[in-house]
Amino acid sequence: MNRCKLFFLTFLIVCQAEAGVSILLTESGNDVVASGSGTVNLAGLTLGGGNDSTEGIQPGIGYLAVGALDGDLIQLYNGVSGPSSFGTGGSFRIPNSGTGDRVNIHGAANHIRLRSGYTSGEQLSFMNTWLNSSFDSLGITEGTYTWTWGAGANADSLQIVAMTVVPEPELYGVVTLLLALGGVWFRRERVSRIRLFD
Protein backbone atom coordinates (compact mmCIF):
# COMPACT_ATOMS: atom_id res chain seq x y z
CA MET A 1 0.00 0.00 0.00
CA ASN A 2 1.51 3.35 -1.00
CA ARG A 3 1.64 6.46 1.19
CA CYS A 4 -1.33 8.17 -0.47
CA LYS A 5 -3.58 5.16 0.08
CA LEU A 6 -2.39 4.84 3.67
CA PHE A 7 -2.99 8.56 4.30
CA PHE A 8 -6.49 8.28 2.80
CA LEU A 9 -7.28 5.15 4.83
CA THR A 10 -6.19 6.86 8.05
CA PHE A 11 -8.25 9.93 7.14
CA LEU A 12 -11.33 7.74 6.57
CA ILE A 13 -10.89 6.01 9.90
CA VAL A 14 -10.67 9.36 11.70
CA CYS A 15 -13.65 10.86 9.89
CA GLN A 16 -15.91 7.82 10.15
CA ALA A 17 -15.11 6.71 13.68
CA GLU A 18 -17.85 7.83 16.03
CA ALA A 19 -16.81 5.78 19.01
CA GLY A 20 -16.63 7.07 22.55
CA VAL A 21 -13.68 4.70 23.01
CA SER A 22 -11.44 3.86 20.03
CA ILE A 23 -8.91 1.02 20.12
CA LEU A 24 -6.32 0.59 17.38
CA LEU A 25 -4.81 -2.89 16.98
CA THR A 26 -1.65 -2.93 14.84
CA GLU A 27 1.30 -5.13 14.03
CA SER A 28 4.46 -3.28 15.04
CA GLY A 29 7.59 -5.15 13.99
CA ASN A 30 7.26 -8.60 15.55
CA ASP A 31 4.64 -7.48 18.08
CA VAL A 32 0.94 -6.64 18.26
CA VAL A 33 0.02 -3.37 19.97
CA ALA A 34 -3.38 -2.21 21.25
CA SER A 35 -3.63 1.52 21.98
CA GLY A 36 -6.50 3.88 22.41
CA SER A 37 -8.46 6.43 24.37
CA GLY A 38 -11.90 7.94 24.80
CA THR A 39 -14.79 8.32 27.20
CA VAL A 40 -17.87 6.25 28.09
CA ASN A 41 -21.45 7.35 28.74
CA LEU A 42 -22.81 4.96 31.39
CA ALA A 43 -26.44 6.17 31.10
CA GLY A 44 -27.30 3.54 28.48
CA LEU A 45 -25.76 0.66 30.47
CA THR A 46 -26.88 -1.37 33.48
CA LEU A 47 -24.60 -2.40 36.32
CA GLY A 48 -23.87 -6.13 36.31
CA GLY A 49 -22.28 -8.66 38.60
CA GLY A 50 -18.60 -9.40 38.93
CA ASN A 51 -15.84 -6.94 39.59
CA ASP A 52 -12.64 -8.08 37.91
CA SER A 53 -11.12 -9.69 34.81
CA THR A 54 -7.71 -10.36 33.31
CA GLU A 55 -6.11 -8.24 30.59
CA GLY A 56 -5.83 -10.24 27.40
CA ILE A 57 -7.27 -11.02 23.99
CA GLN A 58 -9.49 -13.78 22.57
CA PRO A 59 -10.84 -12.57 19.21
CA GLY A 60 -13.08 -15.63 18.66
CA ILE A 61 -15.42 -14.45 21.44
CA GLY A 62 -14.92 -10.73 20.88
CA TYR A 63 -12.85 -10.34 24.05
CA LEU A 64 -10.26 -7.61 24.49
CA ALA A 65 -9.17 -6.32 27.90
CA VAL A 66 -6.58 -3.55 27.89
CA GLY A 67 -4.82 -1.33 30.41
CA ALA A 68 -2.47 -1.80 33.34
CA LEU A 69 -1.81 -5.45 34.19
CA ASP A 70 -1.91 -4.71 37.92
CA GLY A 71 -4.52 -1.98 37.82
CA ASP A 72 -7.59 -1.21 39.90
CA LEU A 73 -10.60 -3.51 40.13
CA ILE A 74 -13.11 -3.10 37.34
CA GLN A 75 -16.91 -3.25 37.17
CA LEU A 76 -19.13 -4.99 34.61
CA TYR A 77 -21.86 -3.14 32.66
CA ASN A 78 -24.52 -4.88 30.53
CA GLY A 79 -26.43 -3.53 27.53
CA VAL A 80 -23.78 -3.61 24.79
CA SER A 81 -24.63 -4.88 21.30
CA GLY A 82 -22.31 -5.62 18.39
CA PRO A 83 -20.16 -8.34 16.84
CA SER A 84 -19.54 -11.50 18.84
CA SER A 85 -15.99 -11.77 17.49
CA PHE A 86 -13.22 -9.85 15.70
CA GLY A 87 -11.36 -12.90 14.46
CA THR A 88 -10.98 -16.62 14.88
CA GLY A 89 -8.51 -16.78 17.77
CA GLY A 90 -9.77 -19.24 20.35
CA SER A 91 -6.89 -19.13 22.83
CA PHE A 92 -6.72 -16.50 25.53
CA ARG A 93 -3.44 -14.56 25.33
CA ILE A 94 -2.21 -12.26 28.08
CA PRO A 95 -0.15 -9.22 26.94
CA ASN A 96 3.49 -8.88 27.95
CA SER A 97 2.98 -5.28 29.05
CA GLY A 98 0.16 -2.88 29.75
CA THR A 99 -0.34 0.68 30.96
CA GLY A 100 -3.22 3.02 31.56
CA ASP A 101 -6.91 2.60 32.35
CA ARG A 102 -8.52 -0.82 32.34
CA VAL A 103 -11.19 -1.26 29.63
CA ASN A 104 -12.72 -4.58 28.62
CA ILE A 105 -15.11 -5.47 25.79
CA HIS A 106 -16.70 -8.92 25.61
CA GLY A 107 -18.74 -9.07 22.41
CA ALA A 108 -20.13 -12.58 22.87
CA ALA A 109 -21.37 -11.72 26.38
CA ASN A 110 -22.68 -8.23 25.45
CA HIS A 111 -20.90 -6.31 28.17
CA ILE A 112 -18.03 -3.97 28.88
CA ARG A 113 -15.99 -3.50 32.04
CA LEU A 114 -14.43 -0.28 33.32
CA ARG A 115 -12.42 0.64 36.38
CA SER A 116 -14.46 0.70 39.58
CA GLY A 117 -15.67 4.19 40.38
CA TYR A 118 -15.63 5.32 36.75
CA THR A 119 -18.05 8.18 36.03
CA SER A 120 -19.49 9.13 32.64
CA GLY A 121 -17.22 11.34 30.56
CA GLU A 122 -13.95 10.58 32.35
CA GLN A 123 -11.06 10.30 29.91
CA LEU A 124 -9.56 6.83 29.40
CA SER A 125 -6.25 5.90 27.73
CA PHE A 126 -4.26 2.68 27.54
CA MET A 127 -1.63 0.65 25.67
CA ASN A 128 -0.78 -3.07 25.64
CA THR A 129 1.81 -5.11 23.75
CA TRP A 130 1.91 -8.80 22.85
CA LEU A 131 5.57 -9.58 22.10
CA ASN A 132 6.57 -11.92 19.27
CA SER A 133 2.99 -12.02 18.01
CA SER A 134 1.08 -11.28 14.82
CA PHE A 135 -2.55 -10.98 13.76
CA ASP A 136 -2.27 -14.55 12.46
CA SER A 137 -0.90 -15.97 15.70
CA LEU A 138 -3.52 -14.18 17.80
CA GLY A 139 -6.35 -14.94 15.35
CA ILE A 140 -7.23 -11.29 14.67
CA THR A 141 -9.09 -10.44 11.44
CA GLU A 142 -8.44 -7.00 9.97
CA GLY A 143 -11.43 -4.70 10.01
CA THR A 144 -13.52 -2.27 12.02
CA TYR A 145 -15.70 -3.60 14.84
CA THR A 146 -18.20 -1.45 16.70
CA TRP A 147 -20.27 -2.09 19.83
CA THR A 148 -23.06 0.32 20.76
CA TRP A 149 -25.37 1.08 23.67
CA GLY A 150 -27.83 3.73 24.76
CA ALA A 151 -29.99 5.98 22.55
CA GLY A 152 -30.46 9.64 21.78
CA ALA A 153 -28.25 11.87 23.91
CA ASN A 154 -27.01 8.75 25.76
CA ALA A 155 -25.93 6.84 22.64
CA ASP A 156 -22.31 5.70 22.82
CA SER A 157 -19.97 3.08 21.41
CA LEU A 158 -16.62 1.34 21.54
CA GLN A 159 -14.73 0.62 18.33
CA ILE A 160 -11.80 -1.63 17.50
CA VAL A 161 -9.88 -0.93 14.29
CA ALA A 162 -7.50 -3.77 13.40
CA MET A 163 -4.93 -2.89 10.70
CA THR A 164 -1.74 -4.72 9.80
CA VAL A 165 -0.43 -1.79 7.74
CA VAL A 166 1.14 0.96 9.86
CA PRO A 167 2.43 4.36 8.67
CA GLU A 168 6.04 4.83 7.67
CA PRO A 169 8.02 6.80 10.30
CA GLU A 170 7.80 10.12 8.47
CA LEU A 171 3.98 9.87 8.46
CA TYR A 172 3.61 9.23 12.21
CA GLY A 173 3.25 12.96 12.92
CA VAL A 174 0.56 13.42 10.26
CA VAL A 175 -1.38 10.35 11.42
CA THR A 176 -1.19 11.45 15.05
CA LEU A 177 -2.45 14.92 14.10
CA LEU A 178 -5.35 13.42 12.13
CA LEU A 179 -6.32 11.17 15.03
CA ALA A 180 -6.20 14.12 17.42
CA LEU A 181 -8.30 16.31 15.11
CA GLY A 182 -10.76 13.46 14.63
CA GLY A 183 -11.13 13.13 18.40
CA VAL A 184 -11.71 16.87 18.83
CA TRP A 185 -14.27 16.87 16.00
CA PHE A 186 -16.15 13.91 17.46
CA ARG A 187 -16.17 15.45 20.93
CA ARG A 188 -17.62 18.69 19.54
CA GLU A 189 -20.27 16.77 17.56
CA ARG A 190 -21.17 14.74 20.63
CA VAL A 191 -21.57 17.85 22.80
CA SER A 192 -23.70 19.49 20.09
CA ARG A 193 -25.99 16.46 19.93
CA ILE A 194 -26.42 16.39 23.69
CA ARG A 195 -27.35 20.09 23.69
CA LEU A 196 -29.99 19.41 21.05
CA PHE A 197 -31.68 16.98 23.40
CA ASP A 198 -31.54 19.29 26.44
Which 3-state string (H, E, C) describes the chain?
Answer: CCHHHHHHHHHHHHHHCCCCEEEEEEEECCEEEEEEEECCCHHHCEECCCCCCCCEEEHHHCEEEECCCCCCCEEEEECCECCCCCECCCCCECCCEEEECCEEEEHHHCEEEEECCCCCCCCEEEEEEECCCCHHHHCECCEEEEEEECCHHHCEEEEEEEECCCCCHHHHHHHHHHHHHHHHHHHHHHHHHHHHHC
Burial 98-132 (b: 16+ CB within 10 A, else e): bebbbbbbbbeebbbbbbeebeeeeebebbbbbee
How far is 33 from 107, CA to CA, in rounded Å? Answer: 20
13: left (phi > 0), else alpha (psi -120 to 50), else beta? alpha
What is the percent of the chain with per-residue pLDDT over 70, rounded to a whole number? 73
**Selected residue with higher pLDDT from 63 and 178:** 63
Q: What is the pLDDT of residue 8?
A: 39
As a whole number of angstroms, the longest Cα–Cα distance in the chain is 50
pLDDT at position 17 is 43
pLDDT of residue 164: 87
Q: Rounded mean pLDDT of 88-100?
A: 94
**pLDDT over 70 at 183, yes or no:** no
> Which pLDDT value is given to residue 138?
97
5-9, 143-147, 152-156, 168-172: least confident range = 5-9
pLDDT the model gives residue 52: 72
pLDDT, position 162:
97
Question: With bands split at pLDDT 50, 70 and 90, how would you rate the model's confidence at 9?
Answer: very low
CA–CA distances in Å: residue 181 to residues 145, 165, 185: 21, 21, 6
Please check the confidence at residue 102 and state whether its pLDDT lies above 70: yes
Which pLDDT does position 47 carry in this prediction?
92
Query: In the predicted model, is pLDDT for residue 175 greater than 90?
Result: no
45, 37 Cβ separation under 8 angstroms: no
Does residue 195 carry a pLDDT above 90? no
pTM of the predicted structure, to 2 decimals? 0.77
pLDDT for position 54: 85
